[in-house]
Amino acid sequence: MYILIALVFVLGYTAIALEHPLKINKAATAVLTGMLIWTMIMLGHHLLFTGEHGGTEHLLGELMEHLSDIASILIFLIGAMTVVELMDAHEGFRVITDRIKSTNRLLLLWVLGFIAFFLSAALDNMTTSIVMAALLRKFIKNKEDLWTFAGMVIIAANAGGAWSPIGDVTTIMLW
């Protein structure tokens, strides 16, 4: 059973790593892999856990802990994205977009990275990235440039959150 679970994990991880050549969605692959592993654990729990490990109660407790962690992240993201979209709909970012007039891409990259760095010191990394993604959509129309700028914003948000006692010291693993 352990070997089968490890094999499913390695196959899922490989599929996620080869997302572009395989033309598959890594989020769907991650969900499917997790679901398969949890299903194998639930069906074969009598082989994995003995009575001294807590048996089924221990297994259900672990499953509930993981599900609640995932649910809390999803609820946070939905809330943060809703707030950002409401701000955008009511032109809340206009204060920033009106002040940035540069047509120089390198200067714009530095300015947006600087904003992300200091914004992340006050907010958490994920919220900063969501806010900055909304700003990036207003400044950058080319998809290739958008990916470059988004990568720089993620790096700046991670660095900005790490040095501040208010910010978040975790990293963002979105891309």
* pLDDT per residue of the chain (175 residues) written in tens, 0 to 9: 789 999 999 999 999 999 989 999 988 999 899 999 988 887 876 666 655 656 677 777 878 888 888 888 889 889 888 988 888 888 887 888 788 877 788 898 999 999 999 888 888 788 888 889 888 988 888 888 899 999 999 999 888 877 776 665 565 554 3
pTM: 0.64
CA-to-CA separations, 63 to 11, 45, 60, 94, 163, in angstroms, rounded: 22, 12, 5, 44, 34
End-to-end CA distance of the chain: 32
Distance CA 118, CA 162 (A): 11
Distance CA 134, CA 155 (A): 17
Evaluated on CA atoms 85, 91, 96, 98, the torsion sign reads positive
Q: What is the pLDDT of residue 104?
A: 86
Q: What is the pLDDT of residue 52?
A: 60
Evaluated on CA atoms 103, 105, 107, 111, the torsion sign reads positive
Q: What is the pLDDT of residue 174?
A: 44
